[in-house]
Every structure is written in C-alpha cells, then in structure tokens.
Structure 1
C-alpha cells in the first residue's frame, strides 16, 4: 500500500466510477483498476462492490475511506507546516543567555527580531555558560550564548562580540581613579565572585590556579544584580564586562594592565539540525549586533 493507491482509492470512492476517477487523476482507466486491485490484495479485503459499471463501497471500504481521508489530510497538514516553517511563517527559537547579558543587547535584539518575524516564538533561558553548553547538547535549547576562546567539542559557534573585562569597584575606592590595575592588585582585595559554572568565575580560577597567592573571596552568588549592589555597598570588588556597569554611576570600571577581553559566541549543536527559525535568529544577531553597541 502506498500513497498513490490511497489517492486512487479516494478518487474512485468519490466518483464511484473507474472511468471518471481515471479522468480526474489523469490516468488511464486500466491503471486505476490495477491500482485498486493491488490495494485490495495488500489489505486482503474487498473495498468495492462491482456490478457492471455500477460500483459501491463495501462495509470494509467505508471503514478504509475514513482512514484514507485522515492519511491524506495529515499529509497535507505536514506539507503545509513544513512549507510554513521553511518560509518562517511558523517556528520557535529556544535560546540560553547568561544572566549578565540578558539585560544588555538582547532585549533590543529580541524586540527587533520579533518585529521582523512576528510569527516566530522565542523562549529564553537564563543560565551560566557551563549549563548553557549542557542545555545545547541535551537539546533543551537550540542556541546559546557561550564565552571564551575555546569552543567545546560537540558545539559549533560564531563569535558575535568581544567585550572588555574590567575590575569593578565603588567610586570611593582608591582604584577608582586609576588608569589601570594588575591582577596581583585585584587578588589582594575582598572579592565578590560568581559561583562555579559561570564563565567569569572559571576565568578567575584559571588565572590564579598556578599562583601562590589565594584570592580573598568574601561572597559568592549566581545573581548578577546582587554583585553590582554589593560593589556599590562597598562589600567587595569584582570583575565584570564593561558594558554591564556602563550605566552605574556608583561603580567604577577600571581596566586591567595588560587589557583583558572576553569573546562571546552564539553556539548550537554541531551534529544537530538547526531549523530555519533558529538560523534566522542566529543570522539576525550576527548582522545586527554592531548597531546595538
């Protein structure tokens, strides 16, 4: 049994005449008769009562008619939905964004993308960089923002932004009036750090791993907004991306000597299927990001 046989059966059931069914299908009448005979043979059932030129559906034929209509309707729905997805009439983008970045660039990116593709749905998850990598691998998100120069195995990525990493201190701190500081100077300060699994924490840990001096960590959190608030209150200092403190008058952003930066990538599963909707969001981000800076 194949789709051609099912479509032939529907034509004969509609016209109850092999000749007219053949004409509607633009086939020779013998080809229609052979197709129905093969279908009945495959099903081991008689679908039509044949009395000369007059034919009717058997009881089995009536049952099969319901299924045949459903099969063809489902096929039409599938073809239409695939066409819509290909044409970006429908679709969903699931993306993971680290909390530090969710308030910068991305609200405007998402707003502009929604305006350009109003029929596409977006779902955003806020997690640390390590968790986002796992979410991409597991298929819980389709795209994710990851950081660093090394792309993990199993992921494909494109860099969309390079941002400076700065020391963030209260405006009354002695470092606030400096042109730059060194990492050794930072280690001697009370540090507010993100928890394990966030890229800036992993970056800090990697920098001091081979040094004799142990950083003075006074507070750990996974809440970006809390880090900024604690810096303002003078609890300690931290490292953040320059863009996230650009609008904080009570927090001074002090460059490092030599300067330090962080590459941000949009990543996806390298051996997975990236839908048209996700490709559209990825390309939209890469094309527009410079205008948001």
Structure 2
C-alpha cells in the first residue's frame, strides 16, 4: 500500500471531489483517479461510488478513513523526528561558559558530544559569569555554564558540577602547607579576579559569612582571567583564592602550594543556565543531557 495513495484518499474525502483533491495535491485529475483505482484494487474494495459527475464514499472508505489519517499523522511525526535528527547531526550549537567550566570541565563534555554527533558545529564563548548570563538572556547562546547563581527573571539555574576554592601561594612561600587565619590573610598581598567573576562572587560570599569584606583585605591587583591570577601568584605578586579545578595541575607539579584557611572547606556549585520559555534545539537538549550525565557532581579533583 503506497503512502501517496492513502494521502490522496484522505484528500478526496476531505475536499469532496477528485478535482478538488487533485488541485490540492498539485496533480492532474486523471492521475488522481488512476491512483484511487490502484488503491481500490489493492484493498479489493470499492471506496467510492460514481453518481454521474459526483463520487460518494462507500461505507468501507468511511471506516478506513480514520486509520488512514492516523497512519499519515504517525508518519508525519516520524518525519519531524528525522528532521530534528538531521538538524542535530548537522546543526550549530552555541554555548557560553565562565572561565572555570569553559576551560576545565566543558572540554571533556564537548569532546564526548563530538564523538556522538560529529556533524554538530559547536562554538563555546568564554567570559565571566555575569557576561555568560547576559548572553543566555539575550538569546546569543542557548546554554551557559557559570560559577554562581544570579538573580535573573526568566532563567533557570541547574546544578551540574561541584568546585572548591583554595588559597594558593608560590612554592617557596613561608606559609606553604600551613593554616592561615583571616587576620593573617589581611596582611598579605592578594591577587583577585574582577567584579562579575563567579569565583570572586563565591569567595566574597564565604568572606561575608565570616563577617569580612573583600575590601578589608590587601588586594594588590584585579585580573580578568584565572590564568592571569595563577601566573601572577607564580611570579610572586601575592597570594590568591582560586578554583581547585584551575590550580590542581600547578599544585601537582609543585609550581604552587596551598595554604589552609580557617574558613573550612570553601565549596561552591557550577550551574547550567538556560531560558525558561525558550525550547532548546535538539542538539542543545542532547548536550544538556550529556553534561548532566558526565558532569562531576561529586567532589572536585
């Protein structure tokens, strides 16, 4: 049974005549009549009675009609799913991430996604948390990954990974491996991220709980990237509070040392941010699923 024959049957029933169905299908009337005869022969049933220039559906046609429509609808749904699939494997995916997720967590997710869907062209933009949230809100990207949850109407923030803030010092620093009080920290030169950074926002929240403001500390520089902060510390400019994701390799190589603050463990959560009212593209939805499945929701490294 051919799909085109079923479609034409439905068109004849819905439009009331072969000529109207032919016009709707963009075919000649003789062609439609021939297709109808082929369907009747295959079914072994008369679907229409000819009464002069008019045709009248038989009871068999009326019984068959809802099933024919259902078959067409199911196939149409399948076609849409295939189109989504083709859009997925050949489409473009726009992402944005703040420094730590973009540099240290997302590359592995992107590589895994590329293995599954090599036809998707991905673009990852990097900025601070505030900038990423603005990109999502303005529909410049579909999904963002940030280091802090901001108060933004219309956006949802879903936890997807954990982080820990640590205090790092140069390897030859006299305090390396020691525990430091906040009063002692106030005397040390501190290198900080810029306002708008998720790392800075989280660090300020931990300080606030201890009734200390960042302004109470001896900030000697505000730098626009975590890499710049780490380089400044290694160069001896001062100490810094950074993500363990960013500093772990330098610490393992002995290029930096950690100092325990008496604030306890300074943990934070990374968030996946998306617009509540905008449906995700198929590629974005698959990326979200993969990120949530593969993200390190337990302890950071």
- Normalising by the residue count of structure 2, what TM-score does the alignment of the two structures yield? 0.69
CA distance in 1, matches of 2:239, 2:180: 13
CA distance in 2, matches of 1:266, 1:90: 24
Q: Is the 8 A contact 1:169 1:232 kept in 2?
A: yes
Q: CA, structure 1 residues 152+17, in 2 after alignment: closer, same or farther (shift >3 Å)? A: closer
CA distance in 1, matches of 2:35, 2:80: 29
Deviation string 1:145-195 (CA, Å, 9 cap, x unpaired) is 1223666432223212211100111111122121x3233433322111111
Q: 2:260 aligns with which of 255, 258, 264?
A: 255
For 2:104, what is the secondary structure of its paired residue? coil
Q: CA, structure 1 residues 189+7, in 2 after alignment: closer, same or farther (shift >3 Å)? A: farther
Deviation string 1:232-266 (CA, Å, 9 cap, x unpaired) is 01011111111211111221123332111111111
Equivalent residue, structure 2, for 1:9 = 23
The answer to whether residue 125 in structure 2 is matched with residue 125 in structure 1 is yes
Alignment of structure 1 residues 1-293 onto 2, 5 Å: 8-9=22-23, 11=25, 13-14=27-28, 19-20=33-34, 23=37, 83-86=82-85, 88-148=88-148, 152-178=152-178, 180-206=179-205, 211=212, 214-248=216-250, 249-257=254-262, 258-290=264-296
What is the number of equivalent residue pairs in this alignment? 249
CA distance in 2, matches of 1:192, 1:169: 10
CA distance in 2, matches of 1:134, 1:177: 39
Give unmatched runs, 5+ long, in structure 1: 35-78
Q: CA, structure 1 residues 215+250, in 2 after alignment: closer, same or farther (shift >3 Å)? A: same
Q: Is the 8 A contact 1:84 1:90 kept in 2?
A: no
Worse overlay, 183-192 or 107-116: 183-192
Q: CA RMSD in A?
A: 3.6
CA distance in 2, matches of 1:187, 1:153: 37
Q: Is the 8 A contact 1:11 1:24 kept in 2?
A: no
Give unmatched runs, 5+ long, in structure 2: 1-10, 41-46, 55-77
Q: Is the 8 A contact 2:100 2:245 kept in 1?
A: no
Q: Is the 8 A contact 1:169 1:176 kept in 2?
A: yes
